Amino acid sequence: MNEWVQFAPVREIEASRTKRKRESAAPSWPLKPLALSWEERALLTEWVRGKSGSRRWGKLRELAGISRLDLADRLWPKLLSFGAFRVSEVFRRARWELVEIAWADLHTLQIELGVTTQAQHASEKLSVVNCLTELSLDESVGEVASVVLQSPLATKIKQSRAELLVSLRDWIRSERKGKRQDFALFSRPHTKAISGSEWAWLEQSFDLIACGIDRFLPLVWLAGTASLQWGSQRVDLSGQPFVALSSETLGKVTQVDRPPQSYWLIENRASFEKQASNLDAACCLIWTAEPVRNFVCEA
């Protein structure tokens, strides 16, 4: 017999020739914390997830996996002796076999193990609903928030999307511009915190470039004969068919030598390349994947 069952007495509460139910005769829990190793505590934490007051032993062994079957077989008599649950057993092949366990106080056990309780789940769900309801009134993210609110998605997914919508709303309100890494840092502690599936959802739901979030550093393509200068740096457009500069660099330009008489903003990249090959010297051709803002150069 398991050593833990020996030192903590267990009594029968129902019994017949083929079936019986047992519980601890002197339960120490929840008056005292569960005296478990970290491996036992980790496995028990997996067992107590959910709201069911009872679990089939076969399912609990399945959760343990092949590598932890011995641990599971050592753990259940210990938990029985502590009073964490009662057990139902059947008599088969000349021995008693565990069939099912019934938690004595699942709510308290989940709290001790740091597992979200049913009450906490309900509170989280209400909090997410309230957040999405408020977001649905916002002009920039309201339509998408309403879709998330009415969807059958799990609460955790809704919560994650609500957090992203709050960040996107605040990003737009503050008129921020930057790359995806910048938005990720703005919304969460590190750039990898926004998963690929979340980025895919954001892309599907919003025009991210219009929201000021670009996949890469925004570039402006220029063609002409002008020479751009900022500080000790200079770029001569006449030496190349066209040149790409970051919008940040372009904003630093302080002087234009051989300034053009006109600037043409071209919407189509193919059209830009075609016209750049046969451009009037008095013109500067500009193409960018996003609108050009605050581009002011003084001759």
Q: Where are the domains of the chain?
A: 3-113, 118-214, 219-288
The answer to whether the CB of 79 falls within 8 A of the CB of 30 is: no
Element (H, E) at 69: helix 69-82
Pairing of strands 213-214, 178-179: parallel
pLDDT at site 256: 86
Q: Which tokens hold the place of 181?
A: 């890494």
| pLDDT confidence band for 299 (50 / 70 / 90) | very low
Q: Which of 52-61, 117-126, 202-211 has the lowest mean pLDDT?
A: 117-126
Question: Which burial class, exposed, middle or buried, applies to 194 when counting CB atoms under 10 A from its CB (0-12, 13-18, 19+)?
Answer: buried
Q: Which of 165-169, 179-183, 216-220, 293-297 has the lowest mean pLDDT?
A: 293-297
State how far Cα 105 lies from the chain centre.
Answer: 32
pLDDT at site 289: 64
β-bridge mates for residue 102, sequence order: 54, 86
| pLDDT confidence band for 248 (50 / 70 / 90) | confident
Rounded Cα distance, 291 and 220, in Å: 10
What's the predicted TM-score (pTM) here? 0.46
Dmax over Cα atoms in the chain, in whole Å? 104
pLDDT, tens digit (0-9, with 9 covering 90-100), for 249-292: 888 888 888 888 888 888 888 888 888 888 887 888 888 765 54
| pLDDT confidence band for 296 (50 / 70 / 90) | very low
Residue 236: CB atoms within 10 Å: 14
> Across residues 19-30, what is the average pLDDT?
93
pLDDT at site 293: 45
Higher-pLDDT residue of 293 and 59 is: 59
